[in-house]
Amino acid sequence: MTTTATPAQPKTEVPLLNVQVDGEWRQFPKGTRLIEACIKSGQYVPHYCYHPKLSSPGNCRMCLVQLGMPKLGADRKPELGEDGRPILNWSPRPAISCATEISEGMGVRTSGPLVEECRNGVMEFLLINHPLDCPICDQAGECRLQEFSVEYGKGESRFLEEKVKKPKRVDIGERIVLDDERCIMCSRCIRFMQEVAHDDVLGFVNRGSHTTLTVYPGKRLDNNYSLNTVDICPVGALTSKDFRFRMRVWFLKETKSIDVNCGTGSNILISSREGIVHRITPRENDFVNSCWMPDSHRLNFHYLHDEDRLKTPLVKSAPATWTDAISTAAAQLKSHEPARIAMIASARMTNEELFLARRLATALGIEQFDVLPRPQEGDGFLISNDGNPNTTGAKLLGLHCGGRLSAIAAGVASGAIRGLLVLGEDATQCGIAEGDLANLETLVVVDILPNKTTPHATVLLPASGFAEKRGSMINLAGRIQRLNRAISAPGLARDDWEILRDLIVAVGGPNGVYSIEEVFRAMAAETPALTGLSMAGIGDLGVELALDGAPRRAEI
């Protein structure tokens, strides 16, 4: 772990330095890299090798700027001009802004003849050996080389010699394909593997034009964070096998959401087109996951498009309309005494769904309810020890976490429990035998995929996957974050919260929620930790909750 994953800089006494960026004097904390000062001043400096979360080797030379240092008088003090600012001596030689730290009185020009000329030259060098692969390259459309060659490139090649041939389609890892011809030797991937993933497997061999990125002999890029190298690769050298040749990026609609594979709640971008999710990439959130996420989590979305997805409400395995299915489920649940029904919810549900599940339990008088805990071994970085993404939320909303499962299982086995309501879980994993499920009089299941429980369901209600719904979850650190809808649910499947709302109404409970915002409002009104929050108020980066008091929001 590096400093990158820690939340905002602690507000200690870092001295502020005066820097002139394109003629304007500004103040930045000591230790800021010059390129960051430029970017913060609104002056974009093109770059390849620089990455805010990685060290600066300064090997792409794209971020060249013109530097000016204060003119020193005879007393070794800066001479001040009419405006009271130091007079700058402009260097005739450009400097790379990524590996230069700011100093007091420094001046920088991010444009001008010298800088333009340097960028054009660097661009031409970078393109000398670059193949004309754009039509087949997956990076096309989000390729820095393409973007900067539009701005600084020549549009034609002056290079008459033969291009250097390098290995293409190199299988360097389980999930990664390397195209060395496209590599511009920025070394971001190498530094990521060294500094963030701590799995030093990548390196350069050979010299000059023949420099080649490769894995060390006998090693492979199989780290569970390897796909982050694909994200940070500014060109199409590293491509994801999962996403390779699937869809051009310019078709993709990007939806901000969060990862639901563990309690970390990494921020993600869901890229989808016409109802199909094509890839998931991490979204920067320095409070949670910095810029990274594990491969195992980002690739775990294909089940959304599983052929077996539940698409139609089933009553005793026969397709039914939603109206019939809901009323049948409600009638079946109400036919038992409250003491003979149990509910198993899931900590994979959103807060809103859990809140409505709790309401449903109250409406039915159910007292035996629980969620299934999923302890697992984390990796100490972005995979937490909890496989449930919303354990905190489940606890906050008053659902027990595992304490009552054995009692429920025993009740089902003994016949004391005749009705079971299962929300998004496989009851067989909760200690209930499959045979016992078959003996239940009522088994209402809300889920998205068939499992061992669904065949026995008396009423089966198809719900939405994580990319198909909106809602909020609270990660293990107590940060409430939003899920957003990227695609619509398949077939007749509906939003979970709507299903629960309709069930509550059908069993005679209260209504009054018509949108997810209203569910959140109702939930916030009843939950002290959420007081004052709203769906919109959560924002893209989430809000850290003080789980015993009011939300702490000043940090944003």
The answer to whether 40 contacts other proteins (rule: CB under 8 A) is: no
Among 77, 93, 154, 168, binds other proteins (CB under 8 A): 168
Q: Give 299 or 339: the residue with its C-beta nearer to other proteins.
A: 299
Could you tell me which stretch among 160-168, 191-199, 446-454, 483-491 binds other proteins (CB under 8 A)?
Answer: 160-168
Shortest Cβ 142–other proteins spacing (Å): 14
Instruction: Quote the distance between the C-alpha of residue 437 and its chain's center.
Output: 37
Give the contact letters, 248-287, x = binds to other proteins (CB under 8 A), - = no.
x-xx------------------------------------
Q: Give 247 or 492: the residue with its C-beta nearer to other proteins.
A: 247
User: Which residues are within 8 A (CB) of 398 and not within 5 positions of it... i.e. 6 or more apart?
Assistant: 358
Query: How many CB atoms are closer than 10 A to CB 230?
Result: 25
Shortest Cβ 133–other proteins spacing (Å): 8
Could you tell me which stretch among 202-210, 240-248, 351-359, 548-556 binds other proteins (CB under 8 A)?
Answer: 240-248
Cite the DSSP H helix spans in 335-452.
351-364, 391-396, 405-414, 434-439
- Restricted to residues 341-370, the positions that interact with other proteins (CB under 8 A) are none
User: Please, what's the b/e burial string for 139-173 (b: 16 or more CB within 10 A of its CB; e: otherwise)?
Assistant: bbeebbbbebbeebbeeeeeeeeeeeebeeebebb
The answer to whether 170 contacts other proteins (rule: CB under 8 A) is: no
Instruction: Quote the distance between the C-alpha of residue 186 and its chain's center.
Output: 24
Size of site (CB under 8 A) for other proteins: 17
Could you tell me which stretch among 162-170, 190-198, 218-226, 371-379 binds other proteins (CB under 8 A)?
Answer: 162-170
Among 169, 316, 452, 552, binds other proteins (CB under 8 A): 169
Could you tell me which stretch among 238-246, 335-343, 376-384, 434-442 binds other proteins (CB under 8 A)?
Answer: 238-246
Question: Tokens in use for 162?
Answer: 């033969």
Shortest Cβ 131–other proteins spacing (Å): 7
| Alpha carbons 495 and 468: distance in angstroms, whole number | 8
Shortest Cβ 169–other proteins spacing (Å): 7
Q: Which helix (H) or strand (E) holds 301?
A: none
The answer to whether 165 contacts other proteins (rule: CB under 8 A) is: yes
Among 93, 246, 452, 552, binds other proteins (CB under 8 A): 246
Q: Give 276 or 438: the residue with its C-beta nearer to other proteins.
A: 276
Could you tell me which stretch among 30-38, 49-57, 239-247, 418-426 binds other proteins (CB under 8 A)?
Answer: 239-247
| Residue whose tokens read 């996403």 | 243
DSSP SS3 for 185: coil
Q: Give 133 or 222: the residue with its C-beta nearer to other proteins.
A: 133
The answer to whether 245 contacts other proteins (rule: CB under 8 A) is: yes
The answer to whether 140 contacts other proteins (rule: CB under 8 A) is: yes
Query: How many CB atoms are closer than 10 A to CB 477?
Result: 16
Sign of CA dihedral 319, 323, 329, 332: negative
DSSP assignment of 189-240, as one string?
A: HHHIIIIIS----EEEES-GGG-EEEEPTT-----TTTHHHHHH-SSSSEEE
Choose among 51, 400, 19, 71: nearest CA to 229: 51
* Residues within the interface to other proteins (CB under 8 A): 131-132, 134-136, 140, 162, 165, 168-169, 244-248, 250-251
